[in-house]
Structure 1
Amino acid sequence: MKKAILFIGTLFFLLMTMPSYTQKTSKKQEESKTKMEKIQKNTNSKVEEKGVSTPDHWHNPKNKSNIARLSHKLMLKNSAFQLKLNDNGFDLYENGSSKVYAKLVPTPKEGLYRYTSSTINGAAHFDAKGNLVLKYLDNDTGKMKEIQFQSN
């Protein structure tokens, strides 16, 4: 058994030190690196320059360069709301009011916010269309409910 392990170890060592093997792996690494650079260039060029930005370091402290773009105007039923960036996340205002309607504070989980208002406490996130999706527990029924603030 010991001889078999030593034999396999020796073969592995020889394989790793062979010039042709190391050249193949370095070429693959270079190819994957250039593919990633192309993907990053394409995604960065397609980012729209309007809306409110959220620093990605709220969710990922090691990466301060990424920015997620969000709509700053939202609708719920027939009421219009405005989303404004603050030091701790976002404030949600009903149009025409200077009083904060709700607060959105980022959680450790990327893209998830703690939603706090005078009547509802829950979890919120922005979907792919930029809508603010709020999920909370209804105290009267004991069931989960969902509200969507539609983006303009």
Structure 2
Amino acid sequence: MKIEDADDLGTLADLLLDVARLIRMVEPLGEVPILTETEQMVMRVVDLAPGSTPSEIADRSVLQRPNVSAALRSLEAKGLIDRTERTGRNVVVRPTKAAAIALERLRKALREVMIEATEEADIEELLSLIAPLRELELRLFALRRPTRTQMNRSDLR
């Protein structure tokens, strides 16, 4: 990689953050549950990794465990998660059918927003970004800073 390309990576990161912020600002139409940003992050982890424990959700989302616990209580009250199964002493969190329906409604609403925003764009070119962005997400997840929970666990070893 050339050193001048590294500057472009900073621009790319800034642009991705701005695009994500702008997508979040568009209010989805239809019957989509209103979720806080923390609830959205937790729900995304639960959707991507059903059967995770609250600690695993906190680690993956890089949220503090008390914030995850509060979000889980709220999501359970909204009927979007189920935490009744147990493995050992840990509660296992899974999305409900209502969550799957809400997620499909949200994706449909976001799809409509993207269709409107990309009216004159080459959609195939934009769709070709999915695989590299997923790979980037995995690599960034591997590089994330440890949470306090993770740091406290390593102190115990």
Q: Establish whether TM, by shorter chain, passes 0.5.
A: no
Which structure has the bigger radius of gyration?
1
Query: What TM-score results when the alignment is normalised by the length of structure 1?
Result: 0.27
Q: Name which structure has the greater RCO, CA cutoff 8 Å, separation 6+.
A: 2
**More helix by percentage:** 2
Structure (1/2) with the larger strand percentage: 1
TM-score w.r.t. structure 2 length?
Answer: 0.26
